[in-house]
Amino acid sequence: MKIAFLGTNGWYDTETGNTICTLISSEKHHILLDAGNGIYKADRFIQDERPVHLFLSHFHLDHIEGLHIINKFRFPSLQIYGQKGTKAVLKTIVNEPFTVPLDRLPFPVDVHELFEGPYKLPFPVECRFLVHASPTLGYRFDLDGNVIAYCPDTGICENAVRLAEDADLLITECSHKPGERSPMWPHLNPQDAVEIARRARAKRLALTHFDAGRYTSIQERLDAAKTVADFKELIVAQDGMVLELE
């Protein structure tokens, strides 16, 4: 199984990377996590007939703005999942006059709205609402004997810990600098992300979605990670990075 970080910025694109998108390629499926501008790189990795699934966490533009280019892909099919209201949002955003409508893409697309709880789907998935300025779903996937948790825009909350419990890999956002917090606009700093990982007993932690206005260089990301260097299995994501899970 491979995890490719296609976009690791939050908010907007800079020389440090594109806005948020992560690809999990399992034995039988390709799974995209959010659709920031980094999604345009997906066809560098998706070059086979495995079905493609896209899980949207919420509707802030840095998580969905890349949807306007999906007509360039030639997927066998695309299943899109998100919270209640996803169909209405996509009917607006992925439609004329903004871009090619979903029903005119060169491959079939289905949109599914999820509530909290476990789902079987083609693979086991659990989704829980996190703590953010806009309703945001986090996800837990059971794939090829590995558990991968995805906690995008959020503050520390019990649902994040629950999703990450005993995970082989926890992927969290890291919008804030070390020690920084904003109760009105909840996000994680490196210490918060590590706290979730430790409480959940997650084996590895990958930080992504670095706020573009705060983290203006890759070195700043690496320096922030040094403040939690005692968490040994910490990964600082960069665009183009690929992880492998056995």
> What topology does CATH give the domain 2-239?
Metallo-beta-lactamase; Chain A (3.60.15)
pLDDT attached to residue 184: 87
Per-residue pLDDT averaged across 154-167, rounded?
A: 98
Q: What is the CA 201 to chain-centroid distance, rounded?
A: 20
pLDDT attached to residue 128: 98
Q: Which amino acid is at 91?
A: K
Q: What is the CA 29 to chain-centroid distance, rounded?
A: 16
Longest alpha-carbon distance in the chain? 50
Asked if pLDDT for residue 63 goes beyond 90, the answer is: yes
Three-class SS of residue 165?
coil
Three-class SS of residue 17?
strand
Residue 124 phi, psi dihedral angles, 5° rounding: -65, 130
Segments in the chain forming alpha helices (H): 61-64, 86-93, 158-164, 190-200, 218-226
CA atoms within 13 A of residue 100's CA, in its CB half-sphere: 14
User: What is the residue extent of each domain of the chain?
Assistant: 2-239
Per-residue pLDDT averaged across 46-67, rounded?
A: 98
Contact at 8 Å (CB) between 20 and 37? Answer: no
Instruction: State the pairing for strand pair 137-143/169-173.
Output: unpaired
Per-residue pLDDT averaged across 215-243, rounded?
A: 97
Per-residue pLDDT averaged across 157-173, rounded?
A: 98
Q: What is the DSSP string of the chain?
A: -EEEEEE-EESS-BTTBPBPEEEEE-SS-EEEE--SGGGGGGGGT--SS--EEEE-----HHHHGGGGGGGG---S-EEEEEETTHHHHHHHHSSTTTS--GGGSSS-EEEEEE-SEEE-TTS-EEEEE--SSS--EEEEEEETTEEEEEE-S--S-HHHHHHHTT-SEEEEE--SPTT---TTS----HHHHHHHHHHHT-S-EEEE-EETTT--SHHHHHHHHHTTTTSSSEEE--TT-EEE--
Per cent of the chain over pLDDT 70 is 100
Contact at 8 Å (CB) between 18 and 6? Answer: yes
Q: Which residues neighbour 120 within 8 Å (Cβ) at sequence distance 6 or greater?
A: none
Asked if pLDDT for residue 183 goes beyond 90, the answer is: no
pLDDT band with cut points at 50, 70 and 90 for residue 89 = very high
Per cent of the chain over pLDDT 90 is 98
Three-class SS of residue 59?
coil
